[in-house]
Structure 1
Amino acid sequence: MRILILGTGGMANTHAKSFASIEGVTLAGGVDVDPSRVEAFCAAHNIERGFGSLDAALGWGQFDAVANVTPDSVHYPTTMAALAAGKHVFCEKPLATDHARAMEMTETAERLGLVNMVNLTYRNVAQLQKAREIVQSGQVGTVKHFEASYLQSWLVSRAWGDWRTESQWLWRLSKKHGSNGVLGDIGVHILDFAAYGAGSDFSKVFCRLETFDKAPGNKIGEYDLDANDSFAMTAQLENGALGVVHASRWATGHFNELRLRVYGELGSIEVQHRHDWSKLYTCLGQDAETGTWTEVEVDPVPTNYQRFVDACRQGQNLEPSFRHATNIQKVLDMATVTERERAEHAV
């Protein structure tokens, strides 16, 4: 199987390494509008050919699938072009910047019979997979309540680099550069993390967004720093459970941490995931009477990269699909509406 890596930013390195490690997969090409950057990227990952545009790569066409690692606002036009050329697509999250575009991408891929998946990376967390299994088995009983959070600290720490001087971070803070802020960037992850772990999609949401002052005039060079930095959401799932979801880039001391707690009438689960470890805890059966929590050991699970390759080889789509990501995008869109109207909305 031959894969084209579209975009050569930080996450593209993860895509290249992950796909290259899969037996039978060849990195056929790399694409970036910056000639020096694509040349360096292809050399670093032993990629056969480099291109300055997607059109040039599609004109060549000697690959089966595209890993789309472009900025959020570029996902739609590039994915649509790849699909029109008959290529399977593995797209970074979010699928698009709004529900309408995401739905068009989904319907096009499905109509053409092409494999379409979105890299919601925390599906790779084995502890989350196991938590979902426990919830769906009925061991926690009917789910009543949940809590989910995604905490980052790169606006207060230089552990990942200096956002004040590096474009890879600044664009995430600017609406005109295609960012929907923390809601669009990591909100998509924690909404998927919560719904997947709790075993139910969202039905109602109410969200507050906040953008904090970060520089004089909230502008650095060409970047207007106007995208939201934090959000707090109350939500209800289709299974009736009520809960809260929040995320921030101002969470001092938390480099990259997701947490999910699901409470049922018979028991509870908790998933903690950081950049350096993941843990699953349960409080089930008689332990519910004593409030005893037990850490559960779990085996690794296939990554999204492996599952995309499997899907292409089998000609059968796997999750997380474009359609699933489109449903998540609808929740994100509704969250923005509720911020503006200060009222809860049904998804």
Structure 2
Amino acid sequence: MRLLIIGTGKMANQHANRFAAIPGVHLVGAVDTDPDRLSQFCALHKIERQFSSTEEALAWDDFDAVTNVTPDAVHYATTMACLAKGKHVLCEKPLATSYAEAAEMADAAEKAGVVAMVNLSYRNVAEIHAARDLVLSGRIGAVRHIEASYLQSWLVSKAWGDWRTGPQWLWRLSKAHGSNGTLGDIGIHILDFAAYGAATEISDVSCRLRTFHKAEGDRIGEYVLDANDSFAMTANFANGALGVIHATRWATGHLNELRLRIYGEKGGVEVQHDHRGSHLKVCLDEDAETATWREMKAEPVATNYERFVNAVRLNIATEPSFRHAAGLQRILDSASAEEAAAAARV
């Protein structure tokens, strides 16, 4: 498979390394509007062809599939151009910055008959698949309550670098630079983590967003720091469960941690994932009477990168699809609209 990489920022290195490790995948070209960054990226990953625009790469056309690692606001235009040329696409999350655009992208992908997948990267966590299997098997009974959180601390510490001086962080804090804040950046991850692990879908949510003061005038250079930093929501799930979901970049002591707790009529499941690894705990059968939790081993799963390549080779649809990501975007949009309406009433 001949692969084109669109966008050569920090996350693109992860894509390049993961795809290059898959036998039969060839990184044949890369696209970026920054010529220096593009040149350094191609030299690092031994990519021969360099393009300053997606249109230029599509005119060349000597590739089968695309991995789109551009900023959020650029996903729509670049992906739609690739779909129009019949290219298979793995797109970084979120699929778009609005449900209308995400739904249009899903329609276009289905019409083109190509593999169109979104890199919801925590689908790579084996423990979330094991939790889902437990729910589907009926081991915990009917699911009644779901609790999920995504905690980051990069606004508190410099463990990932200083956000005050790094454009790769500052754009995430500014609406004008295409960011929908914590809700749009990591909210989509924890929504998917919760719904996939609990083997259900999110029907609707009620959400509160908060943007905290971070710098003088809430601005650093060209970046107005107006994107949300934290959110807390309640959620109704299609399986009848009620849930609470929250995320923040102010979680002191948590570099990058996802947690999911699923409680059913007969048992419970907990998943924790952070930079050190993943853990699955269960409280099942007679252990429910003594509140005893036991660690459970999860079998390895294929990564999104591997599943995308296999799907392209077989020309079959795979998850998480554009349609699924559009559904998540609908929830994110409704959360943003609710907060905007509340602000207008103040």
CA distance in 2, matches of 1:342, 1:181: 18
CA distance in 1, matches of 2:48, 2:341: 51
CA distance in 1, matches of 2:242, 2:94: 25
Range that drifts further, 332-341 or 308-317:
332-341
Matches within 5 A, 1:124-273: 124-273=124-273
Matches within 5 A, 1:1-347: 1-342=1-342
How many percent identity over aligned positions?
A: 65
- Indicate conservation of the 8 Å contact 1:205/1:335, yes or no: yes
* Secondary structure of 2:262's aligned partner: strand
Structure 1 vs Structure 2 CA RMSD: 0.9
* Secondary structure of 1:12's aligned partner: helix
The one-letter amino acid of 1:192's match is D
- Indicate conservation of the 8 Å contact 2:311/2:318, yes or no: yes
> What is the CA deviation profile of residues 91-144 of structure 1, one whole-angstrom value per residue up to 9, with x for unaligned ones?
000000000000000000100101100000000000000000001110000000
After TM superposition, the runs of 4+ consecutive aligned structure 1 residues lying more than 6 A away are none
1:47 CA drift (Å): 1.1
- Indicate conservation of the 8 Å contact 1:206/1:339, yes or no: no
* Secondary structure of 1:17's aligned partner: helix
The one-letter amino acid of 1:140's match is I
> What is the CA deviation profile of residues 188-244 of structure 1, one whole-angstrom value per residue up to 9, with x for unaligned ones?
000000000111111121000000000000000110000000000011101110110
1:85 CA drift (Å): 1.4
Aligned residues: 343
> What is the CA deviation profile of residues 241-289 of structure 1, one whole-angstrom value per residue up to 9, with x for unaligned ones?
0110000000010000000000000000000000121000000111111
1:35 CA drift (Å): 1.0
Gap runs ≥5 in structure 2: none
The one-letter amino acid of 1:198's match is A
CA distance in 2, matches of 1:4, 1:275: 29
CA distance in 1, matches of 2:36, 2:9: 13
1:342 CA drift (Å): 4.6
> What is the CA deviation profile of residues 27-79 of structure 1, one whole-angstrom value per residue up to 9, with x for unaligned ones?
01011111111111011011121111111111111100110000000000000
Gap runs ≥5 in structure 1: none
* Secondary structure of 1:316's aligned partner: coil
The one-letter amino acid of 1:150's match is Y
- Indicate conservation of the 8 Å contact 2:130/2:299, yes or no: no
CA distance in 2, matches of 1:49, 1:300: 35
* Secondary structure of 1:130's aligned partner: helix
TM-score (norm 1): 0.98
CA distance in 1, matches of 2:283, 2:23: 40
